[in-house]
Chains A and B, each alone.
Chain A
């Protein structure tokens, strides 16, 4: 099914932008996802952008919009709007650095779609690059050393809360306690993710993983083991969106977007790490004119296994079943009712923030998922979360051609 009506409004007698009622992803470019330091974020962004433009069959001067995303915090060199010049682009009508933590990628797509459908730009590149891995230091060490010594974060670090794993461990303990879920369900998430990753050549974790292997994985912060945590990579992904029907041979349409930014208080009587976010998915589906049952797959932001469980529950994707039971019974696996994180997600695939779920959704909807392809995948939900599940962004994509 393809919805959205094309409304061409080309100026008479001279070339100009075409306004449409839709925006399609027509180009996807990915670097290799590396577990070793090497190229800078800028170099990676250049590679991904060139690949995306080639994939769309256009050049730099066909682009009039550029949105860049980069990670906060620990990176000395972040991709910024100067990429317009250093990345080889010509004059642009849209240029922004988008920043809403892990929700950035979906926010970029949302911004690009708005620009295209309001004629602020006709063809937009969205690129995200990150290079957290540096010579002589593991990623866990890099994160442990970041955060500073001021404010609440300084107090937390002085109490041993180093890096992001213990924060999500606290969240996990609280969520498991409140929902009555067993920590064994974390194992089901990790094993399912690995099963998917084994079919994804771009995944960084390919080795088979069963429950015994999971329980042999080192504990990082109780209840999170190494297998419950994403592996950061150095890499970049770029996508090209356009409303121009002549560009691209493979089209994935942006059907709906939604956002939810619950402001929670760390105060007695309330949860401070979860609750809220469903509205993002509700709004995206409503825009798309779809129901949850129409989704062929879900690509969620899963930096830790606990997040997959919490989001399946929060976004009401389990048809009423507890999310642990939903995963344990195989519903998020290859033969399930909602194949989820089909490239292995961030857990076993690669952690490139919001580009991980977006890239996998585009691959699946193009039918180019190879061994992990979900048969007849037509619609996908893409999620992004930021902070401590403080920011939620949802995107509904549909194969258009």
Chain B
């Protein structure tokens, strides 16, 4: 891999050693969709309830039949922090970075950072749009800071 390619694909924040296992059966639909620039989340195939990412049995109807589908990339900040501790070897940013828990319009909740470098976090209640960043071979949901709302 050339240095130029490396520069284009290197994440602004983390070392590729933290890249998630994209072949992990439970999470693969999320990473596959992210690779296509889409956000996918799991639902109960029987009653359409939004399920947690690793939830096998629907707590609404008891069905064991979940289906991933593309969802709206908009959401609202549920909680946010700025992480000051930067673990050597794992975190490459030289300044504090945001970690945000986003409540998606689909009803799901997911933790992410920002797609572009940032040292601030949007406040609770802010509307955000989910984009993607690349870490190793994985595309990962991340807040598109160019679209952060008030």
Q: Are B90 and A162 in contact (CB-based, < 8 A)?
A: yes
Task: Type the 1/0 row for A155-169, where 1 means its CB is closer than 8 Å to any CB of B.
Answer: 111111111011001
A152 surroundings in chain B (CB, below 8 A): 27, 52-54
Q: Are A272 and B90 in contact (CB-based, < 8 A)?
A: no
Q: Are B19 and A221 in contact (CB-based, < 8 A)?
A: no
**In whole angstroms, how far apart are the Cα atoms of A174 and B109 in the complex?**
14
**In whole angstroms, how far apart are the Cα atoms of A163 and B99 in the complex?**
13
State whether A158 and B99 are in contact (beta carbons under 8 Å apart), knowing that A170-B80, A266-B52 are contacts in the complex.
no
Q: Are A267 and B50 in contact (CB-based, < 8 A)?
A: yes
Which of A162, A173, A218, A266 has a CB less than 8 Å from the CB of B80? A173
State whether A267 and B109 are in contact (beta carbons under 8 Å apart), knowing that A155-B140, A159-B140 are contacts in the complex.
yes
Give the contact stretch, choosing among A100-108, A142-150, A329-337: A142-150
Which of B14, B19, B21 has a CB less than 8 Å from the CB of A160? B14
Q: Are B99 and A170 in contact (CB-based, < 8 A)?
A: yes
Q: Are B81 and A155 in contact (CB-based, < 8 A)?
A: no
Instruction: Kindly state whether residue B82 has any CB partner on chain A within 8 Å.
Output: yes
Q: Interface size bucket, A side? A: 35 or more
Q: Interface size bucket, B side? A: 35 or more
Instruction: Kindly state whether residue B46 has any CB partner on chain A within 8 Å.
Output: no
Q: Are A158 and B124 in contact (CB-based, < 8 A)?
A: no
A330 to chain B, nearest CB (A): 29
B27 surroundings in chain A (CB, below 8 A): 150-152, 154-155
Instruction: Kindly state whether residue A265 has any CB partner on chain B within 8 Å.
Output: yes
Instruction: Kindly state whether residue A213 has any CB partner on chain B within 8 Å.
Output: no
Instruction: Kindly state whether residue A371 has any CB partner on chain B within 8 Å.
Output: no
Task: Type the 1/0 row for A226-254, where 1 means its CB is closer than 8 Å to any CB of B.
Answer: 00000000000000000000000000000
Task: Type the 1/0 row for B65-95, where 1 means its CB is closer than 8 Å to any CB of A.
Answer: 0000000000000111111110110110000
Instruction: Kindly state whether residue A294 has any CB partner on chain B within 8 Å.
Output: no
Q: Are A158 and B14 in contact (CB-based, < 8 A)?
A: yes
Q: Are A155 and B30 in contact (CB-based, < 8 A)?
A: yes
Q: Are A221 and B20 in contact (CB-based, < 8 A)?
A: no
**In whole angstroms, how far apart are the Cα atoms of A266 and B135 in the complex?**
25
Which of A220, A222, A263, A268 has a CB less than 8 Å from the CB of B109? A268
Which of B21, B85, B104 has a CB less than 8 Å from the CB of A154? B21
State whether A174 and B78 are in contact (beta carbons under 8 Å apart), knowing that A154-B27, A160-B97 are contacts in the complex.
yes
Q: Are A159 and B107 in contact (CB-based, < 8 A)?
A: no
A177 to chain B, nearest CB (A): 5
A370 to chain B, nearest CB (A): 35
Instruction: Kindly state whether residue A141 has any CB partner on chain B within 8 Å.
Output: yes
Binding site for A on B (CB under 8 A): 13-14, 18-21, 24, 26-27, 30, 50, 52-54, 59, 78-85, 87-88, 90-91, 96-97, 99, 101, 103-104, 107-113, 121, 124, 135, 138, 140, 142
14 contacts between A and B (CB under 8 A): A144-B90, A149-B18, A150-B26, A152-B52, A154-B27, A155-B53, A158-B14, A159-B140, A165-B85, A171-B79, A173-B79, A173-B81, A174-B79, A265-B59
Binding site for B on A (CB under 8 A): 140-141, 144-145, 149-152, 154-163, 165-166, 169-174, 177, 218-223, 263, 265-269, 272
The 4 residue pairs across chains A and B that have the minimum distance between CB atoms = A169-B81, A174-B79, A266-B109, A144-B87
Given contacts A221-B85, A223-B81, A268-B50, 12 further A-B contacts (CB under 8 A): A145-B87, A152-B52, A155-B111, A158-B14, A159-B113, A162-B85, A166-B99, A173-B124, A222-B81, A267-B108, A267-B109, A268-B109
